[in-house]
C-alpha cells in the first residue's frame, strides 16, 4: 500500500512538519510506503511528482490552507481516494486516520472522502460546509499576511531599542532608526493588500491576485467623496468578493481567440473596474460605520468587559496550541491594531507564550510527574515560548491532552484577563519575551502576567497530574 499526502498549516511553521512526521512515522510502523509533501513557510519541500500521486492508493491532505497545485489530485479526488483533514487531526488522531486510509484503500467502491479543498469540490458524498470553506480561504490569506506583519513589526521593535513612544507614535532617535522605522511602515502598509490578494487567490487562483492587491490597497486608502478607508475589514470582505467574482468569470464561455487574454487582461480589468466602483459607491459607508462602531466599543471596554475580552483572547491562544483558533485571534487583534487599538494585541502576544512556558516549567518543577524525556521537551518548549510560539506545548498535549489542555486554557485565560486590566499594549505581531521592546505600555506587567499564567499551569498540573509511579 502507498500513501502520499500534503501537510500545510496557517503559519507554515510547526503544525506543517509535525503532521508530516506523525503521518510518516505511523505509516512506517505499519510497513506502509508513505511520502508527505510539506507546503510550509519556506515553500514546498519533499515535492510529490505526478507519477507518485498516480501510483498512490490514498491521498491525505492535512491542510488548513488552500493547497498549491491542487489540480495534481483531481483524478484521485474524482475516484474518491482523497481524505481531507486538518493538520491538528493528523497530529492527534494519526492512528485512526491511517486506519481510515487502509479501509478506504481496501474497499472496492471507495466512499467519497470529505473535503475542504479550495480547488475542487468532492465528487460525491458530503459537501464541505460553507463555513469550513470560507475559513480555509481566510487561513490562506493569513498565512501570506503573517510574514509581512511580522517583518514590519520587527522593524518597529528594532526602532524602539533607542527610540521612544509619544502619544502612541514611535519616535526614532536618529536618521538611521528613522529609515528602519520607515521600512516597518512599508510592511504595515502592505499587510492589508496582501491579505486581500491571497484570500482572493485561494478562491479564484492566479487571475484573482492582481485585482486583490489593487482593491486591498483601495481598502487601505481614503477614497470616494467622503475619503473613507475601511482598512483590514474592508480588505477581508473584498478578498472574498474578488475571489468569488473571478471564479464566476472563469466559467464564461468566450471565443477561443480571447481565452489567452482572460486570466491576464480581461478578468483582472473587469474585476477591478466592477468591484472597485461597487466598493467605493456602495460598500464604503456601511463598512466604515461598522469599523467605527467596533472602535468605539473597544475604547469603552473596562472592568467586566475588559476581563471577558481577556479571557476570550487567552482561551483562543491556548485552544489548539497555535492552530486555527489562534490564527483567528491573530487576525482579530491585528485588525484592532490597524485601527490604533493596541491592548488586545499586547495581551494576545503575551498569552501565546504562556502554554509552552508553563509546560516547560512544569517538566522541570514537577520532576515526579515528568520524566527525563519530558524535560528534554521542556527545554524546547522554553525556547519556543521565548518567541511566542505556542506549538511548543503540543508534545505535552500529545501525551496527556486533557490535563494539558485544561491547565493551559485556565492559565492563559486568567493571564489574559489580568493583562487587559493592567493595560498591556504592543505594536508588534509576535510574542514571547523577545517582543518586549514592542510593548508600548505595561512592560513589567507583560512579564509578570506571563509568569502568572505559567505558574497557574504548573499549579493545576501539580494537583491533577498523577505521579509517574501511579501512572505505571
By annotation, the residues acting in catalysis are 9
Instruction: Give the span between the Cα atoms of 320 and 299, in whole angstroms.
Output: 29
Nearest to 357 by CA among 386, 323, 317, 320: 386
32 Cβ neighbours under 8 A, 6+ residues apart: 1, 2, 3, 98, 102
Cell of 383: 525556547
Task: Map grid coordinates 510502523 to a residue.
Answer: 29
**Sign (positive or negative) of CA dihedral 276, 280, 283, 287:** positive
Nearest Cα residue to 354 out of 397, 414, 402, 424: 414
Closest CA to 457 of 373, 353, 376: 353
Tell me the CA distances in angstroms from 213 to 177, 271, 418, one per residue in order: 29, 12, 39
Under DSSP, is residue 276 helix (H, G, I), strand (E, B) or coil?
A: helix
Residue 300 burial (CB count, 10 A): 9
Name the grid cell of 153. Answer: 513589526
CA atoms within 13 A on the CB side of 113: 29
Contact in structure between 167 and 191 (CB atoms under 8 Å): no
Q: Grid coordinates standing for 360?
A: 516547560
C-beta separation of 317 from 259 below 8 A: no
Give the Cα separation of 39 and 17 in Å (integer).
Answer: 9
Give the C-alpha separation, 422 to 450, whole Å. Answer: 12
The gap from C-alpha 423 to its chain's centroid, in whole angstroms, comes to 25
∠ at Cα 134 (131, 140), nearest 5°? 140
Cα gap 225→88, rounded to integer Å: 47
Secondary structure (DSSP) of 40-97: ETTEEESPPPHHHHHH-SEEEEEESSPPTTGGGGHHHHHTT-EEEE-HHHHHHSHHHH
Buried b / exposed e across 106-117, counting CB within 10 Å, b at 16+?
eeeebebbbbbb
Instruction: Let me know: does 361 contact 326? Beta carbons within 8 Å.
Output: no
Amino acid at each position: 500500500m502507498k500513501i502520499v499526502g500534503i501537510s500545510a498549516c496557517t503559519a507554515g511553521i510547526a503544525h506543517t512538519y509535525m503532521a508530516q512526521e506523525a503521518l510518516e512515522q505511523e505509516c512506517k510502523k505499519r510497513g506502509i510506503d508513505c511520502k508527505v509533501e510539506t507546503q510550509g513557510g519556506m515553500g514546498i519541500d519533499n515535492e510529490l511528482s505526478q507519477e507518485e500521486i498516480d501510483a498512490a492508493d490514498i491521498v491525505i491532505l492535512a491542510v488548513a490552507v488552500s493547497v498549491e497545485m491542487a489540480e495534481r489530485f483531481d483524478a484521485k479526488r474524482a475516484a474518491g481516494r482523497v481524505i481531507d483533514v486538518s493538520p491538528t487531526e493528523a497530529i492527534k488522531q494519526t492512528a485512526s486516520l491511517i486506519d481510515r486510509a487502509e479501509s478506504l484503500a481496501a474497499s472496492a467502491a471507495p466512499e467519497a472522502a470529505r473535503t475542504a479543498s479550495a480547488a475542487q469540490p468532492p465528487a460525491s458524498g458530503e459537501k464541505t460546509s460553507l463555513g469550513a470553506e470560507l475559513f480555509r480561504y481566510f487561513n490562506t490569506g493569513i498565512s501570506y499576511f503573517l510574514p509581512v506583519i511580522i517583518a514590519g513589526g520587527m522593524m518597529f521593535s528594532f526602532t524602539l531599542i533607542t527610540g521612544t513612544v509619544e502619544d502612541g507614535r514611535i519616535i526614532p532617535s536618529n536618521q538611521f532608526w528613522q529609515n528602519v522605522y520607515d521600512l516597518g511602515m512599508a510592511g504595515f502598509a502592505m499587510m492589508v493588500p496582501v491579505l486581500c490578494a491571497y484570500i482572493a487567490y485561494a478562491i479564484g487562483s492566479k487571475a484573482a491576485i492582481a485585482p486583490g492587491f489593487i482593491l486591498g490597497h483601495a481598502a487601505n486608502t481614503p477614497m470616494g467623496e467622503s475619503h473613507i478607508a475601511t482598512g483590514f475589514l474592508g480588505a477581508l470582505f473584498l478578498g472574498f468578493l474578488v475571489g468569488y467574482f473571478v471564479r464566476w468569470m472563469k466559467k464564461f464561455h468566450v471565443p477561443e481567440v480571447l481565452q489567452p487574454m482572460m486570466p491576464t487582461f480581461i478578468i483582472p480589468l473587469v474585476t477591478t473596474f466592477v468591484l472597485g466602483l461597487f466598493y467605493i459607491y456602495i460598500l464604503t459607508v456601511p463598512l466604515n460605520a461598522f469599523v467605527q462602531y467596533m472602535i468605539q466599543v473597544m475604547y469603552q471596554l473596562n472592568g467586566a468587559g475588559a476581563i471577558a475580552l481577556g479571557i476570550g483572547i487567552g482561551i483562543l491562544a491556548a485552544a489548539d496550541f497555535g492552530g486555527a483558533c489562534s490564527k483567528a485571534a491573530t487576525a482579530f487583534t491585528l485588525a484592532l491594531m490597524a485601527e490604533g487599538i493596541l491592548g488586545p494585541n499586547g495581551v494576545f502576544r503575551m498569552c501565546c507564550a504562556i502554554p509552552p512556558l508553563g509546560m516547560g516549567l512544569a517538566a522541570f518543577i514537577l520532576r515526579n510527574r515528568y520524566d527525563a524525556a519530558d524535560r528534554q521537551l521542556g527545554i524546547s518548549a522554553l525556547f519556543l515560548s521565548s518567541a511566542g510560539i505556542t506549538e511548543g506545548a503540543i508534545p505535552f498535549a500529545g501525551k496527556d491532552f486533557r490535563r494539558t489542555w485544561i491547565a493551559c486554557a485556565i492559565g492563559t485565560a486568567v493571564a489574559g484577563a489580568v493583562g487587559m486590566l493592567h493595560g498591556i499594549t504592543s505594536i508588534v505581531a509576535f510574542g514571547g519575551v523577545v517582543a518586549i521592546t514592542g510593548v508600548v505600555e505595561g512592560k513589567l506587567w507583560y512579564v509578570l502576567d506571563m509568569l502568572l499564567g505559567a505558574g497557574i499551569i504548573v499549579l493545576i498540573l501539580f494537583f491533577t497530574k498523577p505521579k509517574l509511579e501511579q501512572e505505571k
